[in-house]
Chain A
Amino acid sequence: MAKPKVATTSLAGCFGCHMSLLDIDDRILKLVELVDFDKSPIDDIKKFTGRCAVGLIEGGCCNEENVHVLQDFRKHCDILVSVGDCATMGGIPAMRNTIPLAECLEEAYLNGPTVHNPSGRIPNDPEIPLLLDKVYPCHEVVKIDYHLPGCPPPADTIWQALTALLNNNPLDLPYELIKYD
């Protein structure tokens, strides 16, 4: 039987959750015996090649591209997991939700002490994605099956959750592995 596939992505996150996944250390060699990786920033598969058992989502949605990628993951994955505080509740990037967005742009591109911008331009090329009015947690955009809190969730949390899901076991994490930091 073919190995089940796992896909991962980072939306409006910092890659810390992917780093925590790599913090399973040598268990990564066990993991690749259990599963094949499909679309993921750790390989060069840019488009889904087939149905995936589990999709791991890091980061919330801050722009239209994040939404498209998340919808694509929902379409191709049997189980979708929000990994980390940004995916589950927006996280640090959602601190911008209380601030008028024009102010963020002006701070970055017009007012900063090292900005050189004589024409007063703000990035707006069609090649860069439109930003959303605020940062959304993933479950407000698509159905999410499981949430793993933490900034980032510890490697053991990700490992236990992933192996449970791949073995059709209930996701029963001990108290010590549920972090809200």
Chain B
Amino acid sequence: MIASTNTKRVVIEPVTRVEGHGKVTILLDEKNRVQQARLHVVEFRGFERFIQGRPFWEVPVLVQRLCGICPVSHHLAAAKAMDRIVGGENLTPTAEKMRRLMHYGQMFQSHALHFFHLCSPDLLFGFDADVAIRNVIGVAAKYPDLAVQGVMMRKYGQEVIRLTAGKKIHGTGAIPGGINKNLSVEERDFLLKDLDQMITWSRGALKIAKDYTVENLEKVAPFGSFDSNHLSLIRADGAMDLYHGNLRAIDAQGNKIFDQVDYCKYVDYIVEEVRNWSYMKFPFIKSLGPETGWYRVGPLARVNTCDFIDTPEAEAARKEFMAVTDNKPNNLTMAYHWTRMIELLHSIEKIKDLLHDKDLQGNDLVVKGERREEGIGLIEAPRGTLFHHYRVDKNDQVVMGNLIVSTTSNNEPMNRAVQKVAEDHLSGQSELTEGLLNHVEVAIRAYDPCLSCATHALGRMPLVVELVDAQGNMIDRKAR
């Protein structure tokens, strides 16, 4: 939108305490009323194109460099796609359980990082607290015990990743058709040592998120909120499953849009719109169209879509959460925090179950079957449903890659949240203070966006010059 002379442009750049590069622009009229508010993702990678020609077995290690916060998600989604290329999608119990352990470790560290390191300052100090203390260092000064818990919980998740993937960031554990190591008894015992402490702290973190939401419900309920569809993977029996399942989408009232869809058919259900003001695309459900087909993903969507959670403490927490909205989907942006902590507890419960499973010490690590030329792998990453899709030729080289990263699906929801907060809190204010502007970022942070993940195409900016006459007719157009 071209600003007219009376329009003021306010920019928040960069959006901080999120992963990746984004900025918010707000256009105000002469009375400081919000005309437009947008989250622009300003980063652009090129993974779909530059992985072409690479050997397929390299992809799980290569594409995780999309994101250093949740590399395991990309590592595993790509590995699941490559399982299908080598005909090894029916993994051995050891391989599947090692991957699940890696994934729950990842979920645990990512959710702890987001809650304690990135978001807790807003919740503990207030949205408009002094910028000098509104960060994790400020939390460490005022609530040292809490900060230590956050640091040690993240560390625990990272250790789980290190022992399953080989290193804490950008590991190599998953390979097409399986895994390259099991978990030794020594490694298992090392992780069991701090497990009970982690469970206790996870309960505490869940309580903080729940109490915050319930005690401030009047304030947080309208904050950046709106009705939406929700999408996630779901197990065949309707349970939440973060590693594998079929696709389920529901509307804001909980009616199913589609259910138990084989994710290898995702192209029939999901498409992505391109808009010129963000490098991040805008996905929507094909049958509904771009106006009403957009949806949320991530912890809130997963708790809304699932019928139950298969670990006892997280299931009890889910029931408590759903009771707030009479078992209808919860559409509050700020409810992401509560659901994220339900998943934190679920992940550590799952880690506990897995560590007591002797299959992790098995030696049957890899399976192979009939070679295919196309592979699709989906996973529930910390931030939502992650789609990886590849075609591989007879020379084992990748010829096509398509990625729909979790945060991309939340693009429209985040923009709605930004627009709503701008209208509710900023519109008509005589002065836009730093604290007021942070309100916009609080809404974005609720989605835990991973903006560098989401913008994985990379290339030269096309320069398009259009010469238009006074009637708006195009006279000439030059493109680079």
Residue numbers of A with Cβ under 8 A of B are: 10, 12-20, 22-23, 25-26, 28-29, 32, 37, 40-46, 62-63, 65, 91-93, 95-96, 99, 101-105, 107-109, 112-117, 121-125, 127-133, 135, 151-152, 155, 181
The interface residues of chain B lying within 8 Å CB-to-CB of A109 are: 274, 281, 457
B7-26 Cβ-contact flags toward A at 8 Å (1 or 0): 00000111011111101010
Q: How far is the CA of A104 from the CA of B118 in the complex (A)?
A: 32
Within 8 A of A (CB), among B152-180: 152, 154-155, 158, 168-170
- Determine whether B322 belongs to the interface, using a CB cutoff of 8 Å to chain A: no
5 intermolecular pairs with C-beta atoms under 8 Å apart: A42-B136, A96-B459, A102-B460, A108-B46, A115-B274
Smallest CB–CB gap between A137 and chain B, Å?
15
Closest residue of B by beta carbon distance from A103 = B49
Q: Which residues of B contact A (CB under 8 A)?
A: 12-14, 16-21, 23, 25, 38, 40-46, 48-50, 62, 65-69, 71, 113, 117-118, 131, 134-137, 140-141, 144, 147-148, 151-152, 154-155, 158, 168-170, 266-267, 270-279, 281, 283-284, 290, 389, 400, 402, 404, 434, 438, 441, 452-453, 456-464
Residues of A within 8 A of B45 (CB): 12, 93, 96
Are the C-beta atoms of A124 and B65 separated by less than 8 Å?
A: no
Given contacts A22-B113, A99-B50, A113-B267, contact A124 B462 (CB under 8 A): yes
Q: How far is the CB of A52 from chain B (nearest CB, A)?
A: 15
Are B168 and A20 in contact (CB-based, < 8 A)? yes
B contacts with A: majority SS: mixed
Contact A18:B68 (CB < 8 A) given known A43-B16, A63-B44, A102-B462: yes
Min distance, Cβ B122 to any Cβ of chain A, angstroms: 10
CB neighbours of A22 from chain B (8 A): 113, 117, 151, 154
A91–B462 touching, CB < 8 Å: no
Contact between A151 and B170 (Cβ–Cβ < 8 Å)? Answer: yes
Q: Within the assembled complex, what's the spacing in Å between the Cα atoms of A107 and B281?
A: 13
Are A15 and B154 in contact, CB atoms less than 8 angstroms apart? no
The smallest beta-carbon distance between B303 and chain A, in angstroms, is 26
Known: A95-B50, A113-B402. A15 touches B67 (CB 8 A): yes
Closest to B23 in A: A127
CB pair A91–B65 under 8 Å, yes or no, is: yes
CA distance A103 to B458 in the complex (A): 9
Q: Pick the 6 closest A-B CB pairs, nearest first.
A: A16-B68, A108-B457, A104-B459, A101-B460, A101-B459, A43-B135
Contacts of B38 in A (CB 8 A): 127
8 more A-B residue pairs beyond the given contacts A40-B16, A43-B17, with a C-beta to C-beta distance below 8 A: A19-B69, A25-B155, A65-B42, A99-B49, A114-B404, A115-B272, A124-B461, A128-B40
What are the residues of chain B within 8 A of A101 when measuring CB–CB?
458-460
Contacts of A32 in B (CB 8 A): 137, 140-141
Asked if B274 contacts A102 (CB within 8 A), the reply is: no
Measured between beta carbons, the chain A residues less than 8 angstroms from B147 are 29
Given contacts A15-B19, A15-B68, A23-B168, contact A42 B48 (CB under 8 A): no
Residues of B within 8 A of A92 (CB): 62, 65
**Residue in B closest to A69 when the chains form the complex, CB atoms:** B14
Q: Known contacts A19-B169, A115-B271: does B276 contact A104 (CB below 8 Å)?
A: no
Q: How far is the CA of A181 from the CA of B419 in the complex (A)?
A: 42
**Contact (Cβ within 8 A) B459 A151:** no
What B residues does A181 contact at CB under 8 A?
170
Chain A residues within 8 Å of B20, by CB: 10, 15
Q: How far is the CA of A37 from the CA of B62 in the complex (A)?
A: 32
- Contact between chains at B148 and A99 (CB < 8 Å): no
Chain B residue nearest to A37 (CB atoms) is B137
Residues of A within 8 A of B169 (CB): 16, 19-20, 23, 152
- By a CB distance below 8 angstroms, the chain A residues around B135 are 37, 42-44
Across the interface, do B46 and A99 meet the contact criterion of CB distance under 8 Å?
A: yes
| CA gap between A129 and B13 in the complex, in Å | 12
Do the beta carbons of A44 and B438 come within 8 Å of each other?
Answer: yes
Given contacts A114-B402, A131-B461, contact A121 B276 (CB under 8 A): yes
Question: If the complex has contacts A44-B17, A125-B277, are A131 and B460 also in contact, measured as CB distance less than 8 A?
Answer: yes
CA distance A125 to B276 in the complex (A): 6
Closest to A43 in B: B135
Q: Residue on A with the closest CB to B18? A: A41
- Quick one: which of B25, B152, B404, B459 contacts A25, CB cutoff 8 A? B152
Among B117, B152, B275, contact of A26 (Cβ-Cβ < 8 Å):
B152
Say yes or no: A29-B49 contact (C-beta < 8 A), given A14-B65, A102-B460: no
